[in-house]
């Protein structure tokens, strides 16, 4: 019996040794995923920009309301035009293909949109047949991509080809060419009406990098603020560009002031001289994503954790998710008065005493903000993951990961869903 046991143990040990030996001999194969940019001549792309049939929403981005229309960016692809004459039954009408687009604004039937590093003015008087009227080159020279990829600025990237390789050398040689995500996409980036006297200026969301005040379009890049004269709407002219800091993400106008959100603070500029914004004051905070809106007394700043991949992450600052309320009665010295902790705050808006916050995974939250020291939660809508909002005339237009949702808040204690256009999951 003892010999039989010894023989069994020997067989088991031998089999184990053979198995382990075979594992050591096996070669581990890694598959790398890369993307290659597809370029086209700029003139060819500009000539192809027109009104197309509606397409499904896939990855929604920036939001803009103009008259009875909602304009929604399809990240890096173009702009959806939605007829919102009846908010209970919006109709996806057209799609304007604009490669590299992430921001937009509208005035007097002219749509302003970025196309990679350039700006275009599109006449949308006839939405069935839009026409590109002007292109300004290098308005956004700071446009950046991950992994150090630098695009050919003499052409436009119109697509990305995905491919896989098992060749490590191929991967190392091409990794900097495979980055179809631009940092400008997350400035994602109020909804109060702009301060211009004309009624033909639309309303932007709080995640916007574009805003219009009277005859000027203001845009922010990663570190710059540009002032464009749009008195002739189809012929924008850059009059001023100035450096204003780093990691700038959003812009919001109020009472001849621009409130600019960056990853390290809020910056206030006076635009009494519209062509030459003048720095007035700032409020600094740790490194977070930072949309901002304001009323006559307070600025409302949402700070969202970026994790260890944040552009200004220093490995030491505690990452938090919160709403900061800042007293701006003294514009040269804004002062923090209250902090409210949130789940994942992004875009926000305010109508009277009602404060709307897109809290990401925490849903849409509506507060009574009459007493900023004691915000009172009125409603929390948990079945969406919102990131920006426009509130106006009792209607809230919300852009979420799941699509576009509209709510009737005319009775603030009885907020009702009016309609939704869901994103395509195919």
Q: What is the pLDDT of residues 198-212, one digit of tens each?
A: 346 789 999 999 999
Task: Tell me the mean pLDDT in the region 79-84.
Answer: 97
The predicted pLDDT at position 425 comes to 76
Confidence check: pLDDT of 420 > 90:
yes
| Reduced 3-state DSSP string for the chain | CHHHHHHHHHHHHHHHHHHHHHHHHCCCCCCEEEEEEEEEEHHHHHHHCCEECCCCCCCEEEEEEECCEEEEEECCCEEEEEECCCCCCCEEEEEEECCCCCCEEEECCEEEEEECCEEEEEECCCCCCCEEEEEECCCCCCCCEHHHCCCCCCEEEEEEEEEEECCHHHHHHHHHHCCCCEHHHHCCCCCCCCCCCCCCECEECCCCCEEEECCEEEEECCCEEEEEECCCCCCCEEEEEEECCCCEEEEEEECCEEEEEECCEEEEEECCCCCCCEEEEEEECCCCECCEEECCCEEEEEEECCHHHCCCCCCCCCCCCEEEEEECCCCCCCEEEEEEECCCCCCEEEECCEEEEECHHHCEEEEECCCCCCCEEEEEECCCCEEEEEEECCEEEEEECCEEEEEECCCCCCCEEEEEEECCCC
Residues β-bridged to residue 280: none
Task: Tell me the mean pLDDT in the region 127-148.
Answer: 87
Look at residue 14 and tell me if it is in a domain. Answer: no
Asked whether 153 and 142 are in contact (CB, 8 A), the reply is no
> Distance between alpha carbon 219 and the CA centroid of its chain, in Å?
14
Confidence of residue 139 (pLDDT cuts 50, 70, 90): very high
Report which of residues 45 and 287 the model is more confident about.
Answer: 45
Domain boundary among 189, 205, 223: 189
Task: Tell me the mean pLDDT in the region 174-178.
Answer: 67
Confidence of residue 30 (pLDDT cuts 50, 70, 90): confident
Task: Tell me the mean pLDDT in the region 378-397.
Answer: 97
Lowest mean pLDDT among 114-128, 146-160, 181-195, 379-393: 181-195
The predicted pLDDT at position 173 comes to 67
Nearest to 71, CA basis, from 202, 186, 201 = 202
Look at residue 235 and tell me if it is in a domain. Answer: no
Distance CA 372, CA 60 (A): 32
Domain boundary among 189, 212, 229: 189
Look at residue 71 and tell me if it is in a domain. Answer: yes
Buried b (16+ CB within 10 A) or exposed e, 265-280: bbbbbbbeebeebeeb
Range among 17-21, 146-150, 277-281 rated most confident: 277-281
Domain boundary among 141, 161, 189: 189
Confidence of residue 151 (pLDDT cuts 50, 70, 90): confident
Task: Tell me the mean pLDDT in the region 91-99.
Answer: 97
The predicted pLDDT at position 265 comes to 86
The predicted pLDDT at position 101 comes to 94
| Reduced 3-state DSSP string for 90-133 | CEEEEEEECCCCCCEEEECCEEEEEECCEEEEEECCCCCCCEEE
Write out the two tokens for 369: 């903000």
Confidence of residue 162 (pLDDT cuts 50, 70, 90): confident
The predicted pLDDT at position 11 comes to 37
Lowest mean pLDDT among 78-87, 91-100, 200-209, 325-334: 200-209
The predicted pLDDT at position 32 comes to 77
Assign residue 56 the CATH number of its domain.
Answer: 2.40.128
Confidence check: pLDDT of 195 > 50:
no
Residue 409 CB neighbour total at 10 angstroms = 21
Look at residue 321 and tell me if it is in a domain. Answer: no
Asked whether 300 and 331 are in contact (CB, 8 A), the reply is no
Could you tell me the residue range of the domain that residue 357 belongs to? 352-426
Task: Tell me the mean pLDDT in the region 207-226.
Answer: 94
Look at residue 137 and tell me if it is in a domain. Answer: yes
- The total number of structural domains in the chain stands at 2
User: What tens digit of pLDDT does each residue of 303-329 get?
Assistant: 887 654 444 445 545 567 999 999 999
Confidence check: pLDDT of 156 > 90:
yes
Asked whether 349 and 389 are in contact (CB, 8 A), the reply is yes
Q: Give the Å distances, CA to CA, from 179 to 38, 41, 68, 174, 231.
A: 12, 20, 37, 10, 38
Look at residue 131 and tell me if it is in a domain. Answer: yes
Look at residue 17 and tell me if it is in a domain. Answer: no
Asked whether 291 and 284 are in contact (CB, 8 A), the reply is no
Confidence check: pLDDT of 241 > 70:
yes
Look at residue 385 and tell me if it is in a domain. Answer: yes
The predicted pLDDT at position 167 comes to 76
The predicted pLDDT at position 33 comes to 79
Nearest to 254, CA basis, from 220, 216, 213 = 213
Lowest mean pLDDT among 66-80, 158-172, 344-358: 158-172
The pTM of this model reads 0.86
């Amino acid at each position: 019996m003892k010999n039989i046991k010894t023989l069994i143990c020997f067989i088991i040990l031998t089999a184990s040794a053979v198995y382990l030996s075979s594992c050591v001999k096996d070669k581990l194969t890694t598959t790398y995923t890369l993307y290659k940019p597809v370029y086209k001549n700029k003139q060819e792309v500009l000539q192809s920009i027109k009104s197309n049939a509606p397409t499904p929403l896939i990855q929604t981005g920036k939001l803009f309301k103009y008259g009875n229309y909602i304009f929604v960016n399809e990240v890096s692809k173009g702009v959806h035009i939605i007829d919102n004459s009846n908010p209970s039954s919006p109709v996806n009408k057209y799609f304007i293909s604009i490669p590299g687009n992430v921001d937009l604004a509208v005035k007097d039937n002219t749509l302003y949109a970025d196309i990679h590093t350039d700006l275009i003015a599109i006449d949308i008087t006839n939405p069935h047949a839009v026409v590109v009227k002007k292109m300004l080159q290098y308005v956004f020279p700071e446009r950046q991509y991950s992994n150090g990829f630098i695009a050919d600025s003499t052409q436009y990237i119109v697509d990305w080809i995905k491919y896989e390789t098992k060749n490590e050398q191929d991967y190392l040689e091409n990794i900097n060419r495979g980055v179809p995500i631009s940092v400008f996409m997350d400035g994602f980036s109020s909804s109060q009406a702009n301060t211009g006297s004309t009624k033909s200026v639309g309303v932007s969301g709080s995640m916007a990098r574009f805003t219009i005040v009277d005859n000027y379009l203001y845009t922010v890049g990663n570190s710059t603020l540009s002032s464009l004269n749009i008195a002739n709407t189809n012929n924008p002219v850059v009059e001023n560009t100035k450096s204003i800091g780093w990691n700038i993400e959003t812009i919001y106008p109020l009472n001849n002031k621009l409130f600019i959100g960056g990853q390290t603070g809020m910056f206030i500029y006076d635009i009494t001289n519209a062509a030459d914004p003048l720095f007035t004051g700032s409020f600094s905070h740790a490194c977070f994503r930072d949309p901002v809106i304001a009323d006559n007394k307070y600025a409302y700043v949402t700070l969202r954790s970026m994790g260890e991949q944040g552009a200004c992450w220093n490995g030491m600052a505690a990452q938090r998710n919160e709403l900061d309320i800042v007293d701006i009665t003294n514009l040269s010295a804004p002062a923090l008065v209250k902090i409210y902790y949130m789940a994942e705050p992004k875009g926000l808006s305010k109508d009277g005493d009602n404060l709307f916050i897109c809290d990401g995974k925490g849903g849409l939250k509506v507060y009574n903000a009459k007493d900023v020291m004691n915000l009172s939660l009125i409603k929390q809508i948990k079945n969406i993951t919102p990131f920006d909002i426009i509130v106006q005339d009792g209607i809230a237009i919300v852009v979420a990961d799941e699509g576009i949702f509209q709510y009737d808040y005319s009775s603030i204690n009885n907020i009702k869903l009016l309609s939704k256009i869901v994103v395509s999951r195919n």
